[in-house]
Amino acid sequence: MTHMLIIGGGLAGGTAAESLRDEGFGGDITVVAAEPHPPYQRPPLSKGYLAGDEGIDAVILHPADWYAERGIRLITNVAASTLDPAAHIVGLADGNELAYDAVLLATGAVPRMLPLPGCDLAGVMTLRRLDDSDELAAQLRGGRRRLVVVGAGWIGMEVAATARGFGNEVTILERDPVPLAAALGPEMGEVFRALHLDHGVDVRTSVDIERITGTRRAEGVVVDGETVEADLVLIGVGAVPDTALAEQAGLRILNGVLTDSALRTSAPDVYAAGDVANAFHPVLQRHLRSEHWANALAAGEVAARSMQGVPASLDDIPYFYTDQYDLGMELSGYAPLMRDAELVVRGDLEAREFVAFWVDAGRVVAGMNVNVWDVNETVQALIRSGERVGADRLRDTQMPIEDI
Ligand code: FAD
């Protein structure tokens, strides 16, 4: 019987397994997950789950018996350690081997570490796994701790907001002049700086991190010659694709596992999806590695089809969301095109109720709605249409957004 093997118990892997069965695949399916949990999604780990507002059901896609009921073999707490594309065999860390007809690499990403040569980083925390979130929650729940977050990216900013919600003292240390500068550019980054300042976070930018003090537990961060004391240091300086298995298998890798838009890698019957995959985007006509929830979901579905030989293509407009304090935001668009685009704001920047458009040669390439709801589909339609639209129309709040 045909055997579909999925490596990785994140959203991409879990979705692929579910889609295979939903679409009527009747053969064998195995999911191999290195972590001790059934496949789960990560966004709540820095938000509702970390805050204690949501339980484990908001995190795991399905309980373990759901997989058994559908005849999906779930192997947890064991990593795949070798992949032989020619022999179609995956070796597991426990010594077992699995033969496959098609295999999906959905191994995700791992936290990037700070390049601080000679510095003991054993006592710092990162947030990627469910267990990290549990550990962090245990530390933050009582409030009154001094949390230093290194890196004003999405995860750092979300953890800062959740930690403030518990009443902890929070300092953010960022190398760039503005928070979220790489994701949003300076003007929109300032919106998030103001948000955190308003909630009592000490946001320090353009700082040079020299050292982390403490051994078993980080006790401070030395920046520009000054020590910022801490009970807890969280490093949130991005993630790197987990390509260990793909490298061992000799797959083509460039900022992740290179795939075509059907998520086929350079080896026959080997697919890659989610954070680990640098997939060719048919609209952009270039490879794009997207580290977002919506991409992992869509990619899991596309991979399931591709693995069965059904034509499929990953051509969604990248989508991301965040929740921090009372601010909710959705961002749709093509990050590589945002850098040189003109920013057009519709609505009230001060009140943090607006839609920002990134416009390149008259065309909307990205749009971000902040505390404005039910507009994301319209934003996506504007991007997808590729039509030229005047900045005045985009700005004009008298005109309904769907009429732009
Ligand atoms: P992952 O979720 O990383 O899963 C990969 C899994 O594969 C891991 O469990 C790993 O242990 C396992 N694995 C790796 N190697 C092996 C191996 N050799 N054998 C077996 N298993 C292996 N995105 C948004 O759009 N919005 C958000 O608000 C948002 N918030 C986030 C908050 C946090 C704290 C984090 C960490 C991420 C957040 N993201 C968010 C990003 C989003 O969660 C990722 O894009 C998504 O998790 C990618 O899913 P994935 O399945 O590709 O990889």
What are the tens digits of pLDDT across the range 141-162? 999 999 999 999 999 999 999 9
Distance 241 CA to ligand 1 centre (A): 10
225 exposure class (CB count in 10 Å sphere: 0-12, 13-18, 19+): exposed
Residue 120 has pLDDT above 90, yes or no: no
Distance 199 CA to ligand 1 centre (A): 29
Query: Does the beta carbon of 322 lie inside 6 Å of ligand 1?
Result: yes
Report pLDDT digits (tens) over 234-251: 999 999 999 999 999 999
Task: Pick the closest to residue 299 from 145, 144, 167, 108 (CA basis).
Answer: 108
Q: Structure pTM?
A: 0.97
Q: What is the mean pLDDT of the chain?
A: 96
pLDDT of residue 364: 97
Contact 286, 319 (CB under 8 A): no
As a whole number of angstroms, the distance between CA 140 and CA 167 comes to 9
- Which atom from ligand 1 is nearest to the alpha carbon of 158? 32
DSSP string, 52-86: TSS-GGGTBSS-HHHHHHTTEEEEES--EEEEETT
**Average pLDDT of 324-334?**
97
Percent of the chain with pLDDT over 70: 100
Residues sharing a CB contact under 8 Å with residue 114, sequence separation 6 or more, in sequence order? 121, 150, 209, 212, 235, 237
Query: Does the beta carbon of 292 lie inside 6 Å of ligand 1?
Result: yes
Cα–chain center distance at 40: 13
Task: Pick the closest to residue 17 from 97, 141, 84, 103 (CA basis).
Answer: 103
Report pLDDT digits (tens) over 43-81: 999 999 999 999 999 999 999 999 999 999 999 999 999
Distance 342 CA to ligand 1 centre (A): 32
Report pLDDT digits (tens) over 179-203: 999 999 999 999 999 999 999 999 9
Contact 33, 74 (CB under 8 A): yes
pLDDT of residue 267: 98
